[in-house]
Amino acid sequence: MSDRKSLLRLRELREQAHQGGGPERIAKQHAAGKLTARERIDLLLDPGSFHEIGTLAAHHVTDFGMEKRRYPGDGVITGFGTIDGRRVAVYAQDFTVLGGSFSEMQANKISRLLDLAREAGIPLIGLVESGGARIQEGVRGLAGYGRLFTRNVLASGVIPQISVMMGPCAGGSVYSPALTDFIVMVEGTSYMFITGPEVIKTVTGEEVDFQQLGGAYVHNARSGVAHFMASDEKAALALVRELLSYLPSNNAEDPPYAPTDDAPDRLIPELNTIVPEREDEAYDMRDVINAVFDRGSFFEVQPHFAPNVMVGFARLDGHAVGVVANQPSYLAGVLDIDSSDKIARFVRFCDAFNFPVITFVDCPGFLPGVDQEHGGVIRHGAKIIYAYVEATVPKISVVTRKAYGGAYIALSSKEMRTDLALAWPTAQIATMGAEGAVRILYRKELAQAEDPQALEAQFVAEYREKVLNPFVAAELNYIDEVIEPQETRVRLVKALHVLRTKVQENPPKKHGLMPV
Ligand code: HXC
């Protein structure tokens, strides 16, 4: 081939690659309310920053007439670009090419990208839309998944990995995302499942449609598989850009600093009265978080799952931190199976990527119930303990009201390597609440009393006075400092200023046994 001819050939092949599965399938994709893989990459990355690799890779399968169905790129686009000027690796599966199905060649391309991303120390973003292992390729696609999963695991905790589910995602195409740090789903058009409605109907007789089985809401609010839900594809990709603004590019870096004009010494007088006088009255912990951190910086993760606790990123005097908080306005901020998983996973992410963890505690303890016990709340709750103790990043707790029993130990105690344990004057650090304690301590007296209700009220008042405050714990030095709520921001800023250079090592080991 002359130079001129080979140049034309390259242009032709590139043009073919840009056509994906062809105009008809692209029209079908658009008609279904979805963008093409290339349109998605353009929306995600800084304009003009994308540079592709593997454009011409194609499969070599000849069974099932596949020799006539070869497309340059083989249904996945891989390459690099920038987001807000920072380097990222990105792949996007092209549903217009054989349903984005995962082939041996797709495995080669994505695995190569992930190897390069890990070695360069830059985040990987996957825009996923795929019918799973390419059926025509048999074992080749399956083995390919093995290669990809291996790389997902090896890169875990080294570089951030984010998956955006942008259409049907079946079989193996959901397990690679499940091994990544964050999953974003698009409402209405994306769904994820291991076995689909038809197989389920055959095996169990249950009838369910794609959205009911694995739509964005289901995986955000019920299964906890996904972390974010976006109203459309554009919003999903904007969300990824925002998420990345909090994350370091790899585990050797600190999260990016974002200068703020929010004064570090800003007092917050309204916090002095935010905790209601009546113990059974709720307040919104989100108001506390929004008031304390740099204005508008709270970025909640898994907002729809286990809303009795909140987790997310925020900034304090420009430095990104991880925030964990009970939400007293939902189930009194109780801990249960799902909230334990949510907290433990988030704390581990923070520890892996150098985010100090700040925990706001208002929690009556673990949720009582047969379902919870039989569902393994012991095992799940243990994950919180494990994650907090294992974490060597700076950890600060602020008890705003209840810190009963396990909640005190797990979320805020210095004995579990919390660096600084703070409490508001409204804090109640105790084994349990007043009524429960009195009924156990004074069972006999109450049974014999002429007016048990009056006596119980008297004991409850005594218990409240003696036990339900932060001062006993402060006197015993289990709380480092009781602070005025209005001082919370300035205290946290100063504490982090000290702790930022904290060094703590765990004993050498291959790995511990996280109670999964
Ligand atoms: C090859 C596939 C494919 C696959 C879809 N296609 N999935 N080709 N291998 N796995 C092709 C279709 O034949 C079709 O080609 C095109 O992609 C679009 O698919 P449609 O069915 O028309 O789209 P839609 O109606 O939107 O349905 C999407 C879908 C469905 C729900 C994903 O295609 C489907 O159920 N696919 C099979 C899912 C599955 O069981 N995968 C194997 C998983 S096993 P044409 O040419 O007609 O446009 C696996 C191994 C790991 O992944 C398991 C770990 C747990």
Which residue has the least CA distance to atom 9 on ligand 1?
134
At residue 1, the pLDDT reads 63
Options 3.90.226.10, 1.10.10.10, 2.40.50.140, 3.40.50.1000; CATH for 3-244 is 3.90.226.10
* 343, 363 contact by CB (below 8 A): no
Handedness of CA 462, 467, 469, 471 (dihedral sign): positive
pLDDT digit string, tens, across residues 436-461: 999 999 999 999 999 999 999 999 99
> Closest ligand 1 atom, CA of 25?
48
- What is the rounded distance in angstroms from the CA atom of residue 298 to the CA atom of residue 286? 9
* DSSP label at residue 274: T
**Two structure tokens written together for 480:** 């480092």
- What is the rounded distance in angstroms from the CA atom of residue 510 to the CA atom of residue 516? 17
125 - beta bridge partners?
A: 90, 162
- Rounded average pLDDT over 246-266: 98
- What is the rounded distance in angstroms from the CA atom of residue 379 to the CA atom of residue 382? 5
- Rounded average pLDDT over 201-215: 96
Ligand 1 pocket list (CB less than 6 A) = 98-99, 101, 131-135, 142, 145, 168, 170-172, 175, 194, 196
At residue 188, the pLDDT reads 97
- Cα(98) to ligand 1 centroid in Å equals 8
Greatest CA span in the chain, whole angstroms?
108
pLDDT confidence of 3, banded at 50, 70, 90?
A: confident
At residue 280, the pLDDT reads 82
- What is the rounded distance in angstroms from the CA atom of residue 193 to the CA atom of residue 210? 8
Q: Tell me the catalytic residues.
A: 171-172, 406-407
- What is the rounded distance in angstroms from the CA atom of residue 212 to the CA atom of residue 200? 13
* 145, 184 contact by CB (below 8 A): no
Which CATH class name applies to 269-431+469-499?
alpha beta
> Closest ligand 1 atom, CA of 173?
52
- Cα(171) to ligand 1 centroid in Å equals 9
* 87, 157 contact by CB (below 8 A): no
What is the distance of C-alpha 360 from the center of its chain?
Answer: 18
- Report the half-sphere exposure of 300 (CA within 13 A, side-chain side): 16
* Angle in degrees, CA 185, 191, 177, rounded to 5: 60
Helices (H), 391-481: 405-412, 434-441, 443-448, 452-466, 471-475
Which residue has the least CA distance to atom 51 on ligand 1?
172
- Rounded average pLDDT over 19-33: 97
Which residue has the least CA distance to atom 6 on ligand 1?
99
161: three-class secondary structure by DSSP: strand
Lowest model confidence (mean pLDDT) among 86-100, 301-315, 423-437: 423-437
At residue 278, the pLDDT reads 86
Q: How far apart are the first and last CA of the chain?
A: 59
The pTM of the full predicted model, rounded to 2 decimals, is 0.96
Of the residues 24, 128, 135, 175, which should be mutated to test ligand 1's pocket, given the most ligand atoms within 8 Å of the CB?
A: 135
pLDDT digit string, tens, across residues 280-336: 899 999 999 999 999 999 999 999 999 999 999 999 999 999 999 999 999 999 999
**Two structure tokens written together for 496:** 């982090």
> Closest ligand 1 atom, CA of 167?
26
93 - beta bridge partners?
A: 76
- Cα(143) to ligand 1 centroid in Å equals 18
- Cα(48) to ligand 1 centroid in Å equals 32
Nearest to 309 by CA among 288, 334, 275: 334
**Two structure tokens written together for 489:** 């921001």
At residue 2, the pLDDT reads 67
* 321, 364 contact by CB (below 8 A): no
299: three-class secondary structure by DSSP: strand
> Closest ligand 1 atom, CA of 135?
9
At residue 386, the pLDDT reads 97
* 160, 123 contact by CB (below 8 A): yes
- Cα(93) to ligand 1 centroid in Å equals 13
* 1, 9 contact by CB (below 8 A): yes
Q: What are phi and psi of 336, to 5 degrees?
A: -145, -170
* DSSP label at residue 102: B
CATH 3.90.226.10 domain position(s) in the chain? 3-244, 269-431+469-499
Nearest to 132 by CA among 186, 172, 86: 172
Which residue has the least CA distance to atom 50 on ligand 1?
172
Which residue has the least CA distance to atom 25 on ligand 1?
168
DSSP 30-58: HHTT---HHHHHHHHSPTT--EEE-TT--
- Rounded average pLDDT over 385-402: 97
Cβ neighbours of residue 309 under 8 Å, at least 6 residues apart?
Answer: 324, 325, 326, 327, 333, 335, 339, 342, 343
- Rounded average pLDDT over 58-73: 93
- Rounded average pLDDT over 216-238: 98
pLDDT digit string, tens, across residues 130-189: 999 999 999 999 999 999 999 999 999 999 999 999 999 999 999 999 999 999 999 999
DSSP 291-321: HHSSTT--EEESTTS-TTEEEEEEEETTEEE
- What is the rounded distance in angstroms from the CA atom of residue 168 to the CA atom of residue 191? 5
Nearest to 57 by CA among 107, 129, 99: 107
- What is the rounded distance in angstroms from the CA atom of residue 225 to the CA atom of residue 302? 9
Cβ neighbours of residue 50 under 8 Å, at least 6 residues apart?
Answer: 41, 42, 79, 80, 81, 90
Which residue has the least CA distance to atom 15 on ligand 1?
98
Of the residues 93, 98, 209, 213, which should be mutated to test ligand 1's pocket, given the most ligand atoms within 8 Å of the CB?
A: 98
Helices (H), 295-395: 337-352, 370-374, 377-390
- What is the rounded distance in angstroms from the CA atom of residue 256 to the CA atom of residue 67? 48
Cβ neighbours of residue 375 under 8 Å, at least 6 residues apart?
Answer: 337
- Cα(26) to ligand 1 centroid in Å equals 17
What average pLDDT is seen over the chain?
96
